[in-house]
């Protein structure tokens, strides 16, 4: 039996793991009894946990490239951590009635679809056709901006309520999500691999 390959552990990878570990804490804060922590404090704390996760999403990749510590495992784990955090936030916000279920369904469904598509394209040796593009990055940025507004769910600086801003932004994100999915699916279709027969 071949020994398992050793995974090189480094600081950028540590930051990625921190994002994953923070997810249960993020969810727990939002469901703590009000006798422990008032709702507004729950919202603020969960918002800052999410923002910290979004910042480390950028930071771990930047550090990995700058310090020449990029690894194939890190490249796999980084988007997984992002999708887990966004999915957890959308599920909780939907359950609390803050996000439209259809918007959450579009975003989460797209992530599942494209993850499966990338796995298939890698299997047939055409993974470069579905690499992350500008539209995919805009989709991610729109989610990372919309969700903190929705988590705060209150009047910001006495100027406006963040709920309606977050709702508009999350629907923009859902639109970008669908658009990017269509682009990726068309790229996959163009390879012609969709018509290949499967060995029985």
What is the C-alpha separation between 106 and 109, in angstroms, rounded? Answer: 5
Q: What is the pLDDT confidence band of residue 45, given thresholds at 50, 70 and 90?
A: very high
Please give the residue that has the higher pLDDT: either 193 or 164: 164
Cβ(150)–Cβ(93) below 8 Å: yes
Given a cut of 70, is residue 52 above it in pLDDT? yes
The CB density around residue 32, as the number of other CB atoms within 10 Å, is 15
Burial of 81 (0-12, 13-18, 19+ CB in 10 A): buried
> Averaged over 88-114, what is the pLDDT?
91
The CB density around residue 56, as the number of other CB atoms within 10 Å, is 20
> Token digits for 40?
């507004």
| Structure confidence at residue 5 (pLDDT) | 52
Encode pLDDT of 65-74 as tens digits: 888 888 878 7
Q: What are phi and psi of 178, to 5 degrees?
A: -65, -45
What CA–CA distances, in Å, run from 167 to 92, 101, 146, 171, 192? 15, 12, 7, 6, 38
| Structure confidence at residue 138 (pLDDT) | 84
Please give the residue that has the higher pLDDT: either 89 or 183: 89
What is the C-alpha separation between 93 and 147, in angstroms, rounded? Answer: 9
Cβ(114)–Cβ(183) below 8 Å: no
What is the C-alpha separation between 117 and 174, in angstroms, rounded? Answer: 19
Ranges of beta strands (E only) in the chain are 155-156, 160-161
Q: What ranges do the domains of the chain cover? A: 11-191
8-12, 66-70, 76-80, 139-143: which range is least confident on average? 8-12
| Structure confidence at residue 130 (pLDDT) | 64
User: DSSP assignment, residue 98?
Assistant: S
| Structure confidence at residue 72 (pLDDT) | 79
What is the C-alpha separation between 4 and 25, in angstroms, rounded? Answer: 31
Given a cut of 60, is residue 141 above it in pLDDT? yes
Cut 0.85: pTM above it: no
What is the C-alpha separation between 162 and 164, in angstroms, rounded? Answer: 6
What share of the chain has pLDDT > 70, as a percent?
Answer: 84
Cβ(152)–Cβ(178) below 8 Å: no
Q: 11-191 in CATH: which number?
A: 1.20.120.1760
Encode pLDDT of 161-181 as tens digits: 888 999 999 999 999 988 888
């Amino acid at each position: 039996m071949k020994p398992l390959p050793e995974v090189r552990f480094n600081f950028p990878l540590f930051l990625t793991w921190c994002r994953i570990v923070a997810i249960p804490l993020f969810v727990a804060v939002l469901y703590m009894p009000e006798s422990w922590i008032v709702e507004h404090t729950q919202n603020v704390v969960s918002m800052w946990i999410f923002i910290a996760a979004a910042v480390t999403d950028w930071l771990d990749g930047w550090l990995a490239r700058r310090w020449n510590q990029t690894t194939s495992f890190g490249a796999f784990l980084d988007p997984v951590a992002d999708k887990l955090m966004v999915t957890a936030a959308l599920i909780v916000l939907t359950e609390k009635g803050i996000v439209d279920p259809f918007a959450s369904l579009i975003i989460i469904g797209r992530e599942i679809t494209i993850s499966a598509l990338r796995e298939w394209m890698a299997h047939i040796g055409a993974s470069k056709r579905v690499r992350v593009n500008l539209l995919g990055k805009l989709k991610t940025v729109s989610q990372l901006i919309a969700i903190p507004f929705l988590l705060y769910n209150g009047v910001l600086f006495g100027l406006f309520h963040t709920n309606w801003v977050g709702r508009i932004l999350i629907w923009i994100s859902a639109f970008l999500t669908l658009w990017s999915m269509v682009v990726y699916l068309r790229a996959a279709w163009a390879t012609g691999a969709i018509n290949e027969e499967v060995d029985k």
